[in-house]
A and B are shown apart, each in its own frame.
Chain A
Amino acid sequence: MTGIARALRSAAALVVAGTLVAACSRHAADVTVVRFWAMGREGEVVTALVPEFERTHPGIRVDVQQLPWSAAHEKLLTAFAGDATPDVCQLGNTWIPEFVALGALEPLDAAVASSSVDPHDFFGGIWDTNVVAGRLYGVPWYVDTRLLFYRRDLLEAAGVGDVPTSWPDWVRTLAALKANAQAGRYPILLPLNEVEPLVALALQQPDPLLRDGAQYGNFRSTGFRRALAFYAAMFRDGYAPILTASDTSNVWNDFGRGMFAFYITGPWNIGEFQRRLPAAVQTAWTTAPLPGPEGPGASIAGGASLVVFRASRAKAAAWQLVEYLARPDVSLRFHALTGDLPPRRSTWNDASLASDVHARAFRDQLERVKPAPKVPEWERIADEIRVMAERVVRGGASLDDAVRELDARADRILEKRRWLLARGGQRG
């Protein structure tokens, strides 16, 4: 008896609760909901920035969805195919050309022109990654580039006072480190599964990586040959060990023990190094801009941008969220929460960043960053570069064969793009 009564009572409670929920949602009808997808750590942290936005923008509620990086690309494409794209999304800036090709993104030129977002305050190379065929599709959220992390003490022990800024200096430093190193230790770590260091060296060259409006590979150019030869020589001359990142299960451990003195990597490792390196070497490591052929050189413009999807039904509110997150003060809070580096020069003027010794080299490098070719096929071509570079390093292919093969593969990958451009040309 009591059991039934209890069941009835809870059923009644459920009905009441249901009505309340329904009432609430009816009440919420005049609130615009912005669906915001963010990846990994950024997705966790951005929820801390949302309350202030909702407070200053009554009538807008932000629904943050976190995606793991490993599944993000697939999920976004599936969402596009199923007409379920969010309003705002964090998008790695190498993915932007692909989603532009899909016609999934809303151009933002007009919104930026009539807003507080000042394009000239952003680092040029980073801003440029968001511009495809003359139109703007994203606002940089945080930046990423590759430069030198190095052990000052090891350089000093080898008799090198200053960190190298040009390729010839760099080679001399590596030779000095090599002469001074114990067996099994190397001057530099270049994991063969990371193509970014090689791409950065290639971007320092005057020749573009793809030619004729990114319709063909340009790997037989002198510039790319020089970059690949320089890269391969690091292994040939015994400066870099021939291994992939999975062989060095713990890069921080190895760096802490002095297994290598240079490592080309990105800003996320500032935090990792501070957390994971032993206290004894905390004062011994720092960062430096990437050396170029004749002096400080360019590096890759990476990072993530905020984009608005074309299918969004809340574009105005979505743009307000983008504008809020791009504000220098919000960007600074975001940096404090994640360690991600901000894309605007005015944010960098803040004391907390200006006085950060490890970030300083990034500030310098960010003035010299270049985007990788902005075609949807680029990641695929970059993967072929990785494969061919590994083959050259391991001695399976000569430099000439490698660049010829790379051009052939890139041309094949770009075939559809050529067809589309030719067809578009006929129509226009």
Chain B
Amino acid sequence: MKRRNAGWWFAAPALAVIVVFFVAPVLAGFAMSLTDFDIYALADLSNLRVVYLRNYVELLQRPLFWKALANTLYFVGVGVPLSLALSLGAALLLHSPLARFQPFFRTALFAPVVTTVVAVAVIWRYLFATRNGFLNYALGAFGIPPIDWLGDPHFAMPAIIVFAVWKNFGYNMIILLAGLQNIPRDLYESARIDGASAFDRFRYVTLPMLSPLLTIVAILTVAGYFQLFAEPYVMTQGGPLQSTVSVLYFMYEEGFKWWNLGNASAVAFLLFLLIFAVTLVQMRQARRAGAMW
């Protein structure tokens, strides 16, 4: 009897922390998403109405929510593959026996991850400047006319993607580099003896050996990129024409700018469900491919 409960007692402190700091706020947030909590309710709780799923129904009818969702999917759909490819490419280059000054490059490529987004945003705003930004100067060398990166609704999201990918790829690069260094060298050796070309060795040795790690990295990156917020917040404030409003940015405005906490909680829940669903699909695919348990 006692012995059977012992495990629970050992886990209790951790469980208590999880309940207090995770489960309870999530449940409270869900409860709030079923109400129309706003400044009137803050003034007097009798002004609070339980609206059940109306926040959700109305959200699904709001063009801006769909726009935010489309912007976020665009960001995830383009940003994640780009970020993974860049991380993997950089990791392969660093791992190459030909690479010189490896510690220096590793640090340099990792540096954007640890710098604050606000500080680098200032620099990137200069790079993206229409009239004398470096990016347009470089494109001008190829005869491409200047692009209004942050002011044109068509180019603002690509600009945000470039910025975010640059800012974040170093993190995955370090993880993948560690994975590469763990692949036994004899596998490459025997592949070479069997006559495999460099591409074959990458395709049939590196990728399969790296795939569990790649799956983890992909899942984390997707979940992270769905939560796009800081980049548009500091670069474009959601503009031009709301082309860089992400779901999280939308939620921030609903919650903290307009103080519609009921609505904001509903957005948070929808985003949670979305990330959860995408992660489930990813895990199922990975399992089918044998990359994970």
Can you list, as one digit per residue, whether each of B225-253 has a CB less than 8 Å from chain A (1) or not (0)?
A: 00000000000110111100000000000
Closest-CB distance, A95 to chain B (whole angstroms): 11
Given contacts A101-B43, A391-B241, 20 further A-B contacts (CB under 8 A): A77-B39, A77-B42, A80-B42, A81-B42, A98-B39, A102-B43, A193-B239, A243-B151, A244-B239, A246-B150, A246-B239, A247-B151, A376-B39, A379-B258, A390-B241, A394-B153, A396-B241, A416-B38, A420-B40, A420-B47
Which residues on the A side are within 8 Å of B240 (C-beta)?
192, 244, 390
* Contact across chains for A246 and B39 when beta carbons are under 8 A apart: no
Can you list, as one digit per residue, whether each of B27-45 has a CB less than 8 Å from chain A (1) or not (0)?
A: 0000000001011101110
B124 within 8 A of A: no
**Complexed CA–CA distance, A249 and B235 (Å):** 12
* Contact across chains for A103 and B241 when beta carbons are under 8 A apart: no
Taking CB as reference atom, which chain B residue is nearest A77? B259
A192, A193, A387, A416: the one contacting B36 at CB < 8 Å is: A416
Closest-CB distance, A90 to chain B (whole angstroms): 20
Taking CB as reference atom, which chain B residue is nearest A377? B258
The 7 listed contacts between A and B (C-beta, < 8 Å) are A77-B259, A193-B239, A249-B129, A376-B39, A396-B241, A412-B58, A416-B40
**Complexed CA–CA distance, A31 and B47 (Å):** 39
Residues from 47 to 104 in A contacting B, C-beta threshold 8 Å: 74, 77, 80-81, 98, 101-104
B130 within 8 A of A: yes
* Contact across chains for A246 and B236 when beta carbons are under 8 A apart: yes
With most chain A CB atoms within 10 A of its CB, the pick from B40, B49, B237, B242 is: B40
Closest-CB distance, A97 to chain B (whole angstroms): 10
* Contact across chains for B150 and A103 when beta carbons are under 8 A apart: no
Which residues on the B side are within 8 Å of A420 (C-beta)?
40, 47
Chain A: interface size category: 20 to 34
Q: Is the interface of B mostly helix, strand, loop or mixed?
A: loop
B36, B39, B125: the one contacting A101 at CB < 8 Å is: B39
Taking CB as reference atom, which chain A residue is nearest B151? A247
* Contact across chains for B39 and A102 when beta carbons are under 8 A apart: yes
What 8 A-B pairs come out closest when comparing CB atoms? A247-B151, A102-B43, A103-B43, A380-B258, A243-B151, A244-B239, A102-B39, A390-B241
B256 within 8 A of A: yes
Which residues on the A side are within 8 Å of B258 (C-beta)?
379-380
Taking CB as reference atom, which chain A residue is nearest B236? A246
**Complexed CA–CA distance, A419 and B47 (Å):** 9
**Complexed CA–CA distance, A100 and B259 (Å):** 15
**Complexed CA–CA distance, A394 and B153 (Å):** 10
* Contact across chains for A394 and B150 when beta carbons are under 8 A apart: no
**Complexed CA–CA distance, A412 and B153 (Å):** 27
Closest-CB distance, A290 to chain B (whole angstroms): 25
Taking CB as reference atom, which chain B residue is nearest A73? B257
Taking CB as reference atom, which chain A residue is nearest B130? A247
* Contact across chains for A246 and B151 when beta carbons are under 8 A apart: yes
Closest-CB distance, A69 to chain B (whole angstroms): 14
A81, A193, A247: the one contacting B148 at CB < 8 Å is: A247
* Contact across chains for A103 and B129 when beta carbons are under 8 A apart: no
Closest-CB distance, B34 to chain A (whole angstroms): 16
With most chain A CB atoms within 10 A of its CB, the pick from B150, B242, B259 is: B259
**Complexed CA–CA distance, A103 and B43 (Å):** 6
Which residues on the A side are within 8 Å of B153 (C-beta)?
394
Taking CB as reference atom, which chain B residue is nearest A102? B43
Which residues on the A side are within 8 Å of B39 (C-beta)?
77, 98, 101-102, 376
Closest-CB distance, B229 to chain A (whole angstroms): 16
**Complexed CA–CA distance, A379 and B258 (Å):** 8
Which residues on the B side are within 8 Å of A243 (C-beta)?
148, 151
**Complexed CA–CA distance, A379 and B259 (Å):** 12
Which residues on the B side are within 8 Å of A387 (C-beta)?
242
Residues from 361 to 403 in A contacting B, C-beta threshold 8 Å: 376, 379-380, 387, 390-391, 394, 396
**Complexed CA–CA distance, A416 and B40 (Å):** 9
Closest-CB distance, B232 to chain A (whole angstroms): 12
Closest-CB distance, A161 to chain B (whole angstroms): 33
